[in-house]
Amino acid sequence: MNVTQKGITTSAHGDILADTTVMDWLDVGGGTHFQVLRLCEQTGQWALYVHMAPGARFQAHRHEGTGQFFVTKGELIYDAGRAKPGTYGFEPIFGTHVDAHCVEETEMLFLGEGAVTYFKEDGSVDYVFNARTLGDALAQQKKSS
């Protein structure tokens, strides 16, 4: 899915420049917002700038592909420890996290590959997040604006 976004410039050769100072935020609930910097259904890759309000948390989830993040503001607290500004993190395939949250306003760059499966409290699958569902959410947001 190809969704044109404010703040994204692409070249004929495939270069991408994303200006986060003018891009819109996608509200994903629970006090968390994403700026979608890049997504590719062919490779399953996606790049996000993430903003978490104080007290925001991600529900339990499992990475079906790898994830990498770099915290720029605040502190991400999760199963592996605490990630303060300047911290790089790598999340392996099938890495499972039951508690990922922040106490203070937190921002990070997140690079994902493949899907992330989110679970309900009873352990059943709630939803699956990937490049396609992210593109669909962007298209829906654009349609309703």
Summarised one tens digit per residue, pLDDT across range 50-98 is 999 999 999 999 999 999 999 999 999 999 999 999 999 999 999 999 9
CA nearest to 8, candidates 116, 106, 138, 112:
138
Q: What is the pLDDT of residues 89-129, one digit of tens each?
A: 999 999 999 999 999 999 999 999 999 999 999 999 999 99
**pLDDT score of 3 more than 80:** no
- CA distance linking residue 53 with residue 26, whole number of Å: 14
Q: How many Å apart are CA 60 and CA 121, to the nearest integer?
A: 8
**Cα gap 90→122, rounded to integer Å:** 27
In CATH, what is the architecture of 8-144? Sandwich (2.60)
* Mean pLDDT of the 18-39 span: 95
The pLDDT value given to residue 142: 82
pLDDT category of residue 5 using cuts at 50, 70 and 90: confident
b/e per residue 91-108 (b: at least 16 CB within 10 A): beeebebeebbbeeebbb
The verdict on pTM exceeding 0.75 is yes
pLDDT at 34: 97
